[in-house]
Amino acid sequence: MTEPFIGLEHEVKWSLDAAQATRDVDRYLNAAAFGRRLEQISATSVVTQSAVVLDDAALSLTRAGHALTAVVNTGAARDVTWFRLKHSIRRGGRHDTLEIAQRVTEPVSALLSDRSNPVIGHALTCHLFDGPLSVTGVFTQLRHKRHGIFRDSTCGLGYGVDIVEFKAPASGAVLGTYACLEIEINESTPDGLSLLDDLAAALDGELGADREREGKAQLAVRAAGPGRS
């Protein structure tokens, strides 16, 4: 078993009109707030990912705002599958998250009962779910990602637009579409968090959109509904 990756992320995101974001993704990637505050902005990378959301019958993880997912990439990264837990708290419109991720080769069905897996082990130690686990939501997302450095700082920022389809776990039928703009840093210094919050406030005014309070896992489970057919 490979060693898990453990990291922190601090994220703010906004719900967008999915049709508008699909037609003109650069409208959001080129928001003036990014140009004023960032330098060394990368070209846009585009990747498609599919994810299954796992939870117990009581939806303990989902209801608490956490997410246990198996993420499968396509294209050049199609052989990379990550089993990932996001253990999150929400603070003033920002999500502060401990992420534990492990690259796996086993099918998802084999992971559901593997209590020796460090990702599941952490969730059990913290009593985040009671089990047993099953697939409670599915989504596929087209990610348009960029990276930049805050001016006069060494703090990096990842940001991008995700175009998402929520699907039924059993049939794979599309249940709905969704889009969001996300900004994220992976350090917890006071200066870094201040820069993130300042950029988020500027984007609040520029976008005229509400900050998204729920993660994609919560939205995917809600879209699937009680029957999850």
pLDDT, tens only, 135-162: 999 999 999 999 999 999 999 999 999 9
Distance CA 185, CA 10 (A): 5
Distance CA 99, CA 112 (A): 18
- Reduce the DSSP state of residue 181 to 3 states and report it: strand
Strands (E), 121-217: 134-150, 156-167, 174-185
Which whole number is the average pLDDT over 61-72? 92
Position with higher pLDDT, 113 vs 133: 133
For the chain, which residues make up each domain, given as ranges? Answer: 5-224
The pLDDT confidence band at residue 113, using thresholds 50, 70 and 90, is confident
The proportion of the chain whose per-residue pLDDT surpasses 70, expressed as a percent, equals 94
Q: How many CB atoms lie within 10 A of CB 1?
A: 10
Least confident of 69-83, 84-98, 146-160: 69-83
Q: Can you give the pLDDT at residue 74?
A: 62
CATH code given to domain 5-224 = 2.40.320.10
> What sign does the dihedral 211-36-88-229 (CA atoms) show?
positive
